[in-house]
């Protein structure tokens, strides 16, 4: 059935038979037509009866067509699927069963390695029309992925991880995993000395990471209640004469981290091995070479850093919504066959589209489609593909998404607006229902998909949504026992820090129709766009969310509602805190 159905309250009254119901316009028109035809025929029959003095030749068992028409209408309306009807659904939070859990650091984020070392990262759309960009320093001049158009990138100096606003805003999302990786990490050289770094990266590398820069990552993680996740250099510079990966660079980074009071909580061997060619891997690198590298890397990691969780394979770009990149794609299934069941956690990256920067790439999308059911379901489809591979090759292992955003190639222009917040929350909540334990958003503060503006560190709409998630959504996932109308999404978790309480999330992505639910008393937090959906400002219960003059976060205060019917306006997102739900799964 077409999901673009408009609902309308209708009432038919004929021969003392009255039907009142919310129904769809196409079905309503059909029923009206039947009823009008029946009424006309019935009137003709009655006229004939009058003309013949009430002695028209009618069968004694004749049933007036008006009643038949009424019965037909009732049957048609009765078979409208419940989710398409307009009846108000009643929800009992006490009866929502537990269906899973997520990690305490479920909602995490990435800081790209190129941000830490300085270099060329995806150019923000706002800067495309700007004057010629400043040239990068010599040692970072080649720090763009192999084979990609250098005009897509813009130089950035190393990010200031000591910035007080950045730390304050990141800490508010904690505890979280802070992943420092990305394509650039595959070919970065760790300069393990306090001497000045070389003017150019050594042969086989494409960037330089200094002790000072990595120490900044360690200090940042401590300050924001973060745990570091990373990957290691795997480019030609790390390999011996036979092309086999050697652990010397990784060993130096691990030893320095430990000596500086830091810890690598989890690590992938390399970033996105399915796109190995653009990540600096040796020419001709394939699944067999990956399996050989993992056979060296895994025992090294377990010996050098036994507390580090080994993540893998860290794939991207496959499944029902596959993307292609220059140099081709290695299949995850082939990688898993080559490695065997060696990973502690099954990890993958999730991008449901390529951004407008990568013109001509498959899976492009548009702002007009950003609230469509097709778009909002893409993450689930990709997740199902990788979950199936996990089940077949690493059964029983947890699922982590170590990198995701609205679109690859730096995000789309609307990634920084409220329009993308629907995807952000549907993706997190939906994949949490399906067993994903951790999701690391790309990025915290770089390019258009950053949670924060990269120049001012001002929060963007997705940041405010993330903050509400952190405030309200606990680690126990519940089944909300709701079958919402099309393009309305419902999720439930135990309410954070309130034993027995329930947090309900209602995402109404329908731009025309409200959605109603009957609930007990709640605290309501409704997010909406400012002037329009593609607005960088977001409104909470009618009040614009922004930092105060001192850069402090505002209090996120709910609006008390009485028990009864609640309405969720079109194109809005609502968190509901039901502290007195008395749900036994949440005690």
Euclidean distance between the first and final Cα of the chain, in Å? 41
The total of other beta-carbon atoms located within 10 Å of residue 380's CB is: 16
The pLDDT tens digits along the chain (587 residues) read 333 323 333 333 333 323 333 334 344 444 445 445 544 544 444 434 433 444 444 344 444 554 444 444 444 444 444 444 456 889 999 999 999 999 999 999 999 999 999 998 888 888 765 544 444 443 444 455 555 677 788 899 999 999 999 999 999 999 999 999 999 999 999 999 999 999 999 999 999 999 999 999 999 999 999 999 999 999 999 999 999 999 999 999 999 999 999 999 999 999 999 999 988 999 999 999 999 999 999 999 999 999 999 999 999 999 998 887 777 899 999 999 999 999 999 999 999 999 988 866 667 899 999 999 999 999 999 999 999 999 999 999 999 999 999 999 899 999 999 999 999 999 999 999 999 999 999 999 999 999 999 999 999 999 999 999 999 999 999 999 998 899 999 999 999 999 999 999 999 999 999 999 999 999 999 999 988 999 999 999 999 999 999 999 999 999 999 999 999 999 999 999 999 999 999 99
Identify the H or E element spanning 525: strand 522-529
How far is it, in rounded angstroms, from Cα 286 to Cα 183?
17
Cis previous bond, 175, omega within 30: yes
pLDDT of 364 reads 86
Do 235 and 204 meet the contact criterion of CB atoms below 8 Å apart?
yes
Cα–Cα distance, 8 to 23 (Å, whole number): 6
Q: 237-250 as b/e, with b when 16 or more CB fall inside 10 Å?
A: bbbeeeeebebebb
What would the 3-class secondary structure string for 30-55 be? HHHHHHHHHHHHHHHHHHHHHHCCCC
CB 116, CB 94: distance < 8 Å? no
What is the C-alpha radius of gyration for the chain, rounded to an integer number of angstroms? 29
494 close to 474: Cβ distance less than 8 angstroms: yes
Query: Could you tell me if 450 and 458 are in contact, meaning their C-beta atoms sit under 8 angstroms apart?
Result: no
The three state secondary structure string of 328-391 is CCCCHHHHHHHHCCCCCEEEEEECCCECCCCCCCCCCCCHHHCCCHHHHCHHHHHHHHHHHHHH
Whole-structure pTM over 0.95, yes or no? no
For residue 440, CA distances in Å to 69, 180, 216, 274, 314 come to 57, 11, 20, 19, 12
Q: Which of helix, strand or coil describes residue 100?
A: strand
Please report the pLDDT score of residue 268 as a whole number: 98
**Lookup result for tokens 């061997």:** 269
> Residue 150 has what pLDDT?
74
Q: Cα separation of 556 and 465, whole Å?
A: 11
pLDDT at 362: 66
Q: Which residues contact 549 (CB under 8 A, 6 or more apart)?
A: none
Task: Give pLDDT, residue 123.
Answer: 85
The pLDDT value given to residue 583: 98
Predicted local confidence at residue 428, as pLDDT: 98
In contact, 210 and 197? CB cutoff 8 Å: yes
């Amino acid at each position: 059935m077409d999901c673009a159905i408009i609902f309308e309250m209708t009432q038919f009254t004929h021969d003392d038979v009255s039907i009142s119901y919310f129904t769809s316009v196409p079905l309503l028109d059909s029923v009206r037509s039947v009823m009008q035809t029946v009424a006309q025929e019935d009137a003709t029959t009655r006229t004939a009866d009058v003309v013949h003095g009430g002695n028209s030749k009618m069968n004694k068992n004749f049933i007036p067509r008006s009643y038949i028409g009424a019965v037909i209408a009732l049957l048609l309306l009765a078979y409208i699927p419940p989710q398409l009807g307009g009846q108000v659904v009643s929800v009992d939070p006490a009866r929502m069963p537990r269906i899973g859990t997520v990690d305490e650091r479920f909602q995490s984020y990435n800081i790209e390695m190129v941000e830490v070392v300085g270099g060329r990262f995806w150019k923000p759309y706002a800067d495309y029309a700007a004057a010629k960009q400043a040239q990068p320093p010599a040692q970072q001049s080649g720090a763009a992925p192999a084979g990609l158009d250098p005009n897509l990138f813009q130089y950035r100096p190393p990010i200031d991880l000591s910035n007080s606003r950045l730390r304050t805003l990141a800490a508010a999302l904690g505890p979280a995993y802070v992943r420092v990786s990305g394509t650039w990490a595959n070919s970065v050289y760790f300069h393990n000395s306090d001497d000045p770094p070389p003017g150019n990266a050594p042969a086989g590398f494409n960037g330089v990471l200094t002790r000072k820069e990595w120490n900044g990552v360690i200090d940042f993680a401590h300050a924001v209640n973060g745990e570091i996740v990373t990957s290691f250099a795997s480019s030609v510079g790390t390999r011996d004469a036979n092309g086999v990966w050697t652990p010397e660079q990784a060993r130096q980074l691990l030893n320095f981290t430990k000596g500086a009071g830091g810890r690598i909580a989890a690590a992938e061997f390399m970033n996105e091995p399915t796109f190995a060619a653009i990540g600096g891997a040796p020419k001709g690198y394939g699944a067999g070479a990956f399996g050989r590298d993992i056979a060296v890397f895994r025992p090294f990691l377990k010996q050098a850093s036994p507390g580090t969780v080994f993540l893998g394979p860290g794939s991207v770009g496959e499944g029902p919504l596959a993307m292609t990149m220059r140099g081709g794609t290695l299949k995850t299934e082939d990688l898993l066959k080559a490695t065997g069941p060696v990973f502690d956690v099954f990890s993958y990256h999730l991008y449901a589209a390529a951004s407008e920067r990568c013109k001509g790439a498959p899976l492009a999308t548009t702002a007009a489609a950003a609230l469509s059911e097709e778009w909002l379901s893409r993450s689930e489809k990709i997740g199902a593909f990788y979950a199936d591979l996990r089940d077949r090759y690493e059964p029983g292992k947890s699922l982590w998404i170590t990198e995701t955003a609205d679109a690859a190639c730096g995000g789309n222009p609307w990634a920084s607006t409220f329009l993308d917040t629907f995807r952000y929350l549907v993706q997190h909540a939906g994949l949490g229902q399906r067993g994903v334990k951790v999701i690391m958003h790309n990025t915290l503060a770089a390019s258009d998909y950053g949670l924060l503006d990269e120049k001012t560190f001002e929060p963007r709409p997705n940041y405010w949504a993330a903050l509400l998630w952190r405030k309200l959504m606990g680690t126990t996932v519940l089944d909300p026992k709701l079958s919402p109308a099309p393009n309305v999404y419902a999720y439930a978790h135990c309410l954070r820090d309130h034993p027995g309480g329930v947090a309900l999330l209602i995402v109404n992505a329908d731009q025309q129709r409200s959605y109603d639910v009957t609930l007990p008393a709640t605290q309501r937090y409704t997010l909406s766009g400012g002037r329009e959906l593609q607005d960088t400002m977001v409104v909470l219960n009618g009040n614009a969310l922004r930092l105060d003059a001192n850069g402090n976060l505002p209090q996120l205060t709910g609006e008390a509602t009485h028990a009864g019917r609640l309405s969720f306006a079109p194109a809005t997102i609502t968190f509901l805190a039901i502290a007195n739900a008395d749900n036994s799964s949440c005690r």
